[in-house]
Amino acid sequence: MNNSVQPSPSAVAAKPLASVLLIAYNQETLVGDAVRSVLAQTYEPLELIISDDASSDGTFAAIEAAVRGYNGPHKVITRRNTSNEGISAHLSRLAGMARGELLFVAAGDDMSAPNRCERVVEYWLAQDRRPDLIATDLADMDETGAVHERMEPTDLGTYRSFDDWAAERPWLVGAAHTWTRRLFERFGPMMPGTAAEDQVMTFRAIVSGGALSLREPLVWYRRGGLSGKRRYRTVAELVGRLRQGNGFALVEVKQLQHDAEIAGLGDRMRAVLAPKLAREQFIHSMFSARGIGERLTLIAASHNVKLGLRIRMLLYSTFPGVYAPTLWIKRLRRAR
């Protein structure tokens, strides 16, 4: 669907075109609020790309209902994937479609303040268009939509070099990020399966034009959304999540190394990632091993992995039932 009112030539000359990349997946009861919040943006010229990642519920129908009848100034594109791609690949697809100089990330279970785009563009222009990523603060929003305390991720202005990033990764919330299109074009699409897209794009920005934080709560971050903390009912769910997380981590390592090579930092990144790579490869090997004999051999040979992790992975991969009482106790505590 396309629905647009073209801005005047003077407005285009004065302000850069911005694009909102709103991604949704199985959020039919929440995505309408997210869509209406970006339709209500005060900034112009603005392009809205609203995309459903092959949801199994009525998310796309809810998106279409939210934009139906819109006759405002923003160009609106709605679409859906034919198969589920995951966050990184989904955002990469939309970034490749977008025409804006600035690309705003938006999640289908959150909401953007009406002046979010306007304030970030103003901030970017005040910095002479230099930063390649701008992060804003957020406001905690509960399940009813009531807004609570302010959330303040790490101040990205303190990260000026690769060394700063390597010393300690920042705490980030990607749903409050804005990228430049030039940053995406320099490094290209993210690899499918890269779950930590916020870390990847922030690293890219730090070693490019820089990353900064605008300390205003311009995104209302919904508590208990898809990014909320998982609660496992069974040991099988817990182990499944561990294996999924291991797959994500291995792709993230590959992605960061790829991006570091582009930035001329390949050797330094290899040294930084070596402990994480050894740990994740060990986890993968433990789950892939054929029987306890292979696992014990891996444990004996993996001196570059902490002993505590080696023991835990033996339990997870061979005797996962030992964790059942722990899950049961946690369920009792939540019930109380």
- What's residue 296's pLDDT? 97
Tens of pLDDT, residues 198-212: 999 999 999 999 999
Query: CA angle at residue 176 from 171 to 179, to 5 degrees?
Result: 100
Q: Which is more confidently placed, 166 or 332?
A: 166
Q: What average pLDDT score do residues 289-301 get?
A: 96
What is the model's pLDDT at position 225? 55
Neighbour tally for 183: CB within 10 Å: 19
Query: What's the whole-model pTM score?
Result: 0.88
User: Per residue in 60-70, pLDDT tens?
Assistant: 999 999 999 99
How many Cα atoms within 13 Å fall on the side-chain side of residue 165? 24
- The CATH fold assigned to 2-222 is Spore Coat Polysaccharide Biosynthesis Protein SpsA; Chain A (3.90.550)
Residue-level pLDDT at 51: 98
Mean pLDDT computed over 160-170: 97
Mean pLDDT for the stretch of residues 279-288: 97
78 phi/psi in degrees, rounded to 5: -115, 145
The tokens 């992995």 sit on which residue?
305
Give, in order, the Cα–Cα distances in Å from 77 to each of 4, 93, 97, 326. 9, 13, 10, 47
pLDDT over threshold 60, residue 217: yes
145: phi > 0 → left, psi -120 to 50 → alpha, else beta; which?
A: left
Q: Is the pLDDT score of 2 beyond 50?
A: no
Structure confidence by residue, pLDDT tens digits, 32-72:
999 999 999 999 999 999 999 999 999 999 999 999 999 99
- Residue spans of the domains in the chain: they are 2-222, 235-335
pLDDT of residue 196: 85
Cα separation, 208 vs 204, in Å, equals 6
Give the model confidence (pLDDT) of 218-272 as tens digits: 999 997 655 545 567 788 898 999 999 999 999 999 999 999 999 999 999 999 9
- CA distances to 51, 56, 60, 96, 199 from 82, in Å: 11, 11, 12, 17, 27
Identify whether 45 is preceded by a cis peptide bond (ω within 30 of 0): yes
Give residue-wise pLDDT tens across range 89-102: 999 999 999 999 99
pLDDT band at 8 (very low <50, low <70, confident <90, very high): very low
What is the model's pLDDT at position 316? 92
Q: How many CA atoms lie within 13 A of 47 on its CB side?
A: 20
pLDDT in tens, 106-158: 999 999 999 999 999 999 999 999 999 999 999 998 877 788 889 999 999 99
